[in-house]
């Protein structure tokens, strides 16, 4: 039984890590496109890269809650390395000319990815700051409340770190010339509110997952797997 439990812990950690890295890389690849998202009560104008981004904060909160701060920080670093890896190969792909029969010619490739290095660079700077802040604030509230009020640390950490992330990345994109300064205010407001909405939206799912896995892993409210090792 103990062996099966250890395997479940390991598999779920790797699953969360994979979801985190896939979401982060996808954010950077589709960030050049700006879209409107109609949620009924409000129409958001956001970068398409924001769509999978709330998943990254959901995952770090789950890892922080169940596996501890060190494991959460390890995933953040892994995501950074993966993004640099993607950036290098986007650059490398642009160094070779497309053949005449290529479905994606040089013009299309450059139109989609010419700003990729600026976007990924801006995103990575903001990402590192925001994710480490998210993890730190999460554990601050967890320690302060002795493991109670999961909704508080889940939302408080995410809302603050998402504001830091959204404002930082937009400032850097404006500085790099990817977007105009006149769009900064509206994109900041829309991006931040969109992330806050999904931070609140995912709270019931966090509760369900944490409740089930705490029972599976035999963890008390103020414990995580990192603190038991």
Give me the tens of pLDDT residue by residue for the chain, a chain 229 residues long: 445 567 888 888 999 999 999 998 888 788 778 888 888 878 888 888 888 877 887 888 888 888 888 888 899 889 888 888 888 888 888 889 999 999 989 888 887 776 666 777 777 777 777 777 877 777 777 777 777 777 777 677 777 777 887 787 778 777 777 678 888 888 888 888 887 787 778 778 888 888 888 888 888 777 777 766 6
The pTM of this model reads 0.77
Backbone φ and ψ for 163, nearest 5 degrees, come out as: -65, -45
Residue 166 neighbours by CB distance under 10 Å? 26
Q: Structural domain tally of the chain? A: 1
What percent of the residues of the chain are helix, what percent strand, and what percent coil, each to the nearest 5?
75, 5, 20
Instruction: Give the contacts of 206 (CB within 8 A, at least 6 positions apart).
Output: 58, 61, 62, 65, 150, 154
Three-class secondary structure of residue 37 per DSSP? strand
Crossing angle between the packed helical segments 150-176 and 203-217, to the nearest 10 degrees: 120
pLDDT at 154: 67
The separation between CA 101 and the C-alpha centre of its own chain, rounded to angstroms, equals 37
Residue numbers of the domain that contains 36? 2-228
Residue 180 neighbours by CB distance under 10 Å? 9
C-alpha to C-alpha distance for 162 and 156, rounded to whole angstroms: 10
Nearest CA to 128 among 165, 166, 173? 165
Contact criterion met (CB below 8 Å) for 207 and 150: yes
CATH, residue 171: 1.10.1760
């Amino acid at each position: 039984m103990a062996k099966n439990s250890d395997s479940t812990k390991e598999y779920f950690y790797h699953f969360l890590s994979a979801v985190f890295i896939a979401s982060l890389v996808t954010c950077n690849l589709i960030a050049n496109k700006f879209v409107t998202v109609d949620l009924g009560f409000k129409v958001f104008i956001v970068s398409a890269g924001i769509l999978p981004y709330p998943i990254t904060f959901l995952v770090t909160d789950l890892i922080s809650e169940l596996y501890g701060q060190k494991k959460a920080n390890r995933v953040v670093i892994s995501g950074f390395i993966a993004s640099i890896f993607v950036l290098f190969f986007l650059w490398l792909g642009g160094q070779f000319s497309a053949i005449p029969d290529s479905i994606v010619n040089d013009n299309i490739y450059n139109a989609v990815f010419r700003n990729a290095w600026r976007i990924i660079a801006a995103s990575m700077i903001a990402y590192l700051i925001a994710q480490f802040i998210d993890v730190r604030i999460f554990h601050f509230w967890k320690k302060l409340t002795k493991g109670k009020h999961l909704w508080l640390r889940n939302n408080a950490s995410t809302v603050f770190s998402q504001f830091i992330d959204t404002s930082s990345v937009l400032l850097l994109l404006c500085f790099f010339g990817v977007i105009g300064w006149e769009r900064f205010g509206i994109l900041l407001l829309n991006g931040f509110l969109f992330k806050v909405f999904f931070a609140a939206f995912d709270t019931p799912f966090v509760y369900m997952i944490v409740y089930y896995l705490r029972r599976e892993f035999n963890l008390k409210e103020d414990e995580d797997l990192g603190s038991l090792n």
